[in-house]
Structures are given as structure tokens and as C-alpha cells.
Chain A
Amino acid sequence: MEKSSNKLWLRDVNWSAFSLLVVTIVLCVFLDRKFDTFWTYQNMYSIVQEISMECFAIFGFTFLMIMGEIDLSVGAVYAFSGYFVAYLMAFGMPVWPAIVCAILACALIGVVNGTLVVRFRLNSLMMTIGMMLLMLGLRDVLSELMGGSTLKSSYRAIARVEIGDVRVTIIAMIAIILVLEFLLRKSAAFKKIYYVGENLTSATIYGIRAGRIKVLTFIASSVGAGIGGILATSHVSAANVTTGDKLEFKMVTAAILGGCSLFGGKGSIANSALALLFLGIVVDGMVKYDVEVLIQQLVIGIILIIAVYVDTLMNKEKIEY
């Protein structure tokens, strides 16, 4: 799109991403002044390492937000997939087939979410909350069937693979961010995601098969969450219930901080990932200040509400309720 007038160009700059970067840097400088241990390779590495697994879930999630949909089942799928792999392996299945099965199961969840939302024009928030409960329930069933058995070492090794002292999950995260961001900006196929989110009716009139794209994106979201969950579970020694807990909440916060809108049509992969890093740093800072876990959640909750409020202010004309 050509922007001839200067004013339009100014409005076209993604201020939210820019401000987020500034805030992140300010926060880093502040924490660096306060704590000697903050700006060390060790600390930074552990923050990035933590994010690298959650980041797999945010890719599809961001695509969905751009299309004006949402997937609150990511946290539950994240939790479920790790358990599912562990469960299959308890029956003697080798690690890779088990992972493939788990990813296929996650894809199936995405198909169900997407098809139902598109076919019956459901509110995706409500639909995926249902799916979230369902998957958490299945996770509980699996956890009860397995007892407290630890994971097999072949499974635990996956997240620990390193390429030149850097965990493979971090390298994969950076590679995927770069590729997806490039595709989102340059490829015609990925641009359709924005068109659908911006104006569904006109996108359909121009021959974009919005329903199919939505279903595919729901699949991408579930599969991404599934992969993240498999990696996160492989990172710990036994599958436990805290994996993926309230992840959907963090995802929404990150996506909206990263410039996505609940009304669709906006957002980018790199910014969502940056926002995730920002949240990681905020949490790290709070840990260093000995803030209690629940108050940490409170802070993230307040960040979310403010972000959504700003998003609402900027989209007044799109409010339907």
C-alpha cells in the first residue's frame, strides 16, 4: 500500500510495537541497575529458554487474533500433549511415533475447534473455553492413569539437544519467528489472513476462502501449542499439572501487547514474541523482588486489562456488543 501523505504515513507506523520495545529496554536498564544478576548471560539465557517453548504456541495464536478469532484452549492443549506423549510411551511406544501421534491429536483438536467455529459461526472465545475444559479434563484422566511415573530418558533428551551451547528450542524459535514474519509481510497467501481479519465480507467477495483459512489457522494454533507442550514437558522430569497452567491468559496478554486486536486485522509474529519476552522479563523482575506468585498473576491481569482497554479505545467503531 502506497502512503502519499505524511500524516497517513505517521499513522501507519506500528506505534504499539515501537513503544513496547522502548518499555522493554527501559525495564531492562532499570533491572540491570537494581540487580547485578539480571544482565548476565545465565539469567538472560534462562528467560529466553523459558519463552522459547511457550513461543511455539503464540505463532498460531497470533494468526488467529489477526483474523479476529481466539483460541483459549492453547494452554490446555499445551498441557495435554506432554501428558499424551508420556502416556503413549508408558505403553512402550518409541519416542518419535508417540510425538507424531500427539501432534496428530492436537491437529484433530484444531480441526474440531475450527470447523465448529466456522460452520456454526460460534463465538470462538466460548467454544475454545469449552475445549479448554475438555482437554484439561482429559489431562486429569491421563495423569490419574499414569500415577506419578517419571518420563523416559529418551523423551527427556529432546528439549536438551544443544547446537553450539544453545538449546535447539531457542534456535528453532528464532528461525520460525524470522520465517513467519517474512511470510506474513511478503507472501500473498499469508496476507489473506489480514484481509479476512480486516473485513470478512469483502474478503469473501474477493474470493478468499475465509472458512478454510480459519480452520487451517486453528489447526496451526493447536499444533503449535502441542509442540510447545511436548518440549516443555520434556524439559521437566515428570509430567505435572503446572505445565501450561494459565498459558492462554499469558498468550492473550502477549498478543495484545504486541499489537494484536480483539477486533482482528492487526498483529505480527515478531511483536507477539517480543511481548512474550517483555512478560518474561517482568516476571523475572518480580521474582527478583520476591513478589508472590499470585501477585505476579495479579500484575499480569492488570497489564491485560489495560492493554485490552487501549485496544477498545482504538476500535470504538467496531464494537458490536
Chain B
Amino acid sequence: MSTDAKTTWTELLKKRETVALFLVLGMALALLVRSGNFFLDPSNLDSLQAGIAPKAIIAIGMMVLLISGMFDLSVGSVMGFSGVVTAICMTKGVPMPIAILAGLGTGLVFGLVNGLLIAIARVNPLIATIGTMYIARGLSEVLLVRETREGLTELDPTFIWLGAGKFLGLYHMFWVMIILIVLAQLFLRKAYPGRQLYYVGGNREAAGLLGMNVTRIRLLAYCFSGFMAALAGILDTTRSEMANRYMGQGVEMKVIVACLIGGGSIAGGKGSAVGALLGVTFMSLLNNSFTLWEVGKWQNAVLGMVLVSVVVSDGYLTLRKQRALGKA
């Protein structure tokens, strides 16, 4: 790192996080200019918070995986399933803390299954997590088999307060997210296990030769991702005050796109927690613009377009880097 002010600035500008920050600011500005009144409406800001917090929590887990060169498509289904498990436990009369632990445990189990399949059995991460995605989705359908479309709605007010209560104008779940982002950022930047993730993602063989237990690191990363998905699912249940089969649908792609925008790479070895938050914020603002500008039907098409362009640019940047190193 150079201490020269000029180089630092250009380096900062080259960072993907900075690009993501400008995207967020640009999107927010566009929303303010075009429909400021609706955008700044308290209920809109509330729904924006509630949209960002669970996705950002999942994105931390996803970023950890992306950094170590993996990813997880089951997060959306696991999120929904954990919410359903927690809600069902509570309606069956299980005390709230135990119900929440059951939900978190569910996520952990799915993370462990993913980890076992991918880190130990070495199954292709995409296929394995697509498989667990369908399994989690199927299981929550089994649990909800006699429920209506709304699903379980009779939840304990204390439980709802846990995530959707407010402190200084922000939802509790938003505070949880902020704390987790800060901790994750510190962990990834400063702690040795955090740095190990980058080594594993950057060059698996070298990391193995340096004596790192690549299998264990990957297994733990998947467990972490499953746990975060479960946490997000429970928090999302508190805010929407219901647990149903639609929760978490399509979230996995949104989170992956957000992480790629925020500086992650499918090739691994890159990314940060702050980047994950910026990416998720951008995606949520984009989503908000669809609602405010009433162009809802284009939503998925634009999401696909964004994903394609992000994947292409990610691939292009990786290829250019490899060419510069003389590897391709």
C-alpha cells in the first residue's frame, strides 16, 4: 500500500465497494428526484429497512462463502423453512426461546448438510445446494400442508417485538444487522480465521500447503451461511407476522447478485461485509423503484439482466487479471 494520497484515491476508486456505493447513492438520488414524497414516506422507509435487514444478514453468510470460493443457493428455502419451524413450534406451545433455537438449529443442520455434501463428499456446490433448496422448500410445504396461503399468523407479541420492535426509529432486526455487519467486517479484516477464508478462496492448493484445513474451513463456512439464513428467516417472520410457504422465494439469487455487485467474485478470494450490505441496499432500492414507478412486471427480467451483466463483468475482470498474471 502506498501512502501517497493520489494513489490511495485511485485505488479506492478501483475498488468494487466504491462502485457499489456510487450505485447505491445514484439509485437513492434517482428515487428522491423522481418520487421523493413516496420514497421518504415513513412506511416506505420502514419496508425498505425490513427488506434490507434479512437479506443483508444472509448476504454476510453468502459473502463468507463467496470469499472462500463457494456459494449457496439453498439460503432462500432455508430462510423460509426456519421461519416456519419456529412459528410451528410456538403454535404447538413450545416456549419461545426454545422455538427460536429450533429454527436456528434447522438452519445449522441444513448448512451442515450442504457442508458435508460439498466439503467432504465434494459434490458440485451448485447442484448440491439446488438439491437442498428443493428439499427445504418441500419440507416446509409438508409442515404447512393443511395451512392457508397466509400460513401461520397467530404469533406471540413478544416474539414479534423481538424483531419488529423499534429502537431509535430503526427496527431491532436492523440493529442486529448493523452489529453483525460490523462484527463480520472486523472478523474478515483482522482475525486470522477470517483471513484464512481469503487464502482458501484465492488459492486452495497454496492454502492447503500452508497447513490450513480447507475442508474444515469450508464446512464451517456452510454452517455459518445456513445459520445466518435461519436468523434472517426468524427475523423476517417477526416483521411480517406470519410464516408461510412464500417466504424466502428467490432470495438466493438476489443475495448472490447483491454480493457480486458489492465486490464478491464467483472465482473467490474477494469481498467484504460492507460490500455485501452495499449490494443488498442497491438491490432493495432497485426493488423499491419497481414498486414506486409501477413497473412490477419487468422486475424479474431486470433482475436477470443485472445478474447476467454482473456475471459477465465478474468473469471479464477475473480473466483480465489471470491474463495479466500470464495464467490464461
Are A133 and B253 within 8 A (Cβ)?
Answer: yes
0/1 interface trace, chain A 17-60, chain B, CB 8 Å (1 if under)? 00000000000000000000000000000000000000000000
- Report B-chain residues with C-beta under 8 Å of the C-beta of A120: 312, 315-316, 319
Tell yes or no: B69 within 8 A of A by CB. yes
Question: Given that A298-B138, A305-B123, A308-B128 are known contacts, is A137 also in contact with B299, CB under 8 Å in the complex?
Answer: yes
The docked-state distance in angstroms from the alpha carbon of A297 to that of B77 is 14
Contact B307 A129 (CB under 8 A): yes
User: Contact between B315 and A135 (Cβ–Cβ < 8 Å)?
Assistant: no
List of A residues within 8 angstroms of B32 by Cβ: none
Pick the interface stretch among B23-31, B52-60, B129-137: B129-137
Cα A140 to Cα B295 with chains together (Å): 12
Which single member of B69, B131, B138, B298 contacts A304 (CB below 8 Å)? B131
CB pair A125–B126 under 8 Å, yes or no, is yes
Q: Let me know if B304 and A133 touch, CB within 8 A.
A: yes
Is there an interface contact between A136 and B300, defined as CB atoms closer than 8 Å? yes
Given contacts A129-B253, A130-B307, A294-B137, contact A122 B300 (CB under 8 A): no
B297 CB to nearest chain A CB (Å)? 4
Asked whether A140 and B297 contact (CB < 8 A) given A130-B307, A249-B134, A294-B138, the answer is: yes
Query: Within 8 Å of chain B (Cβ to Cβ): is A189?
Result: no
In the complex, A41→B304 CA distance in Å? 43
B130 and A249 within 8 A (CB): yes
User: Which residues of chain B are near A138, meaning CB under 8 Å?
Assistant: 301
- Chain B contacts for A130, CB-based, 8 A: 304, 307-308, 310-311
| Contact among A134, A298, A308, A321 with B308 in the assembled complex (CB-CB below 8 Å) | A134
Closest Cβ of chain A to B323, distance in Å, is: 10
Q: Is B176 an interface position by the 8 A CB rule? A: no
Closest B residue to A131 by beta carbon equals: B308
Using known A-B contacts A121-B319, A134-B301, A137-B303, determine if residue A308 contacts B124 with beta carbons closer than 8 Å.
yes
Query: B305, A262: Cβ atoms under 8 Å?
Result: no
Q: How large is the interface on A (under 10, 10 to 19, 20 to 34, 35 or more residues)?
A: 35 or more
Q: Which residue in chain A gives the minimum CB-CB distance to B117?
A: A305
Q: How far is the CA of A132 from the CA of B73 in the complex (A)?
A: 14
Question: Nearest A residue to B69 by beta-carbon distance?
Answer: A321
The distance from the CB of A247 to the nearest CB of chain B, in whole angstroms, is 13
Please tell me if B33 contacts chain A, counting CB pairs below 8 Å.
no
- Per DSSP, chain A at the interface is helix
Do B301 and A137 have beta carbons less than 8 Å apart?
yes
Minimal Cβ-Cβ distance residue in A for B71? A126
Q: Are A126 and B301 in contact (CB under 8 A)?
A: no
Is the pair B300, A140 in contact by a Cβ cutoff of 8 Å?
yes
Given A127-B308, A301-B131: A262 in contact with B124 (beta carbons within 8 A): yes
Q: Is the CB of A127 within 8 A of B312?
A: yes
Identify which of A116, A297, A305 contacts B128 (C-beta below 8 A). A305
Asked if B125 is an interface residue, CB under 8 A from chain A, the answer is: yes
Query: A122 and B124 in contact (CB under 8 A), knowing A130-B307, A137-B299?
Result: no
A235: min CB distance to chain B, Å: 25
Q: Is B273 an interface residue (CB 8 A)?
A: no
- Measured CB to CB, the closest approach of chain B to A209, in angstroms, equals 18
Q: Which of B282-328 contact A (CB under 8 A)?
A: 297-305, 307-308, 310-312, 315-316, 319, 328
Instruction: List A residues at the B interface (Cβ < 8 Å).
Output: 116, 120-123, 125-127, 129-138, 140-141, 144, 249, 252, 262, 292, 294-295, 297-298, 300-302, 304-305, 308-309, 312, 316, 319, 321
16 interchain pairs, CB-CB under 8 A: A126-B266, A131-B308, A135-B304, A249-B130, A249-B134, A252-B127, A262-B124, A292-B141, A294-B137, A294-B138, A297-B138, A301-B130, A308-B123, A308-B131, A309-B123, A312-B122
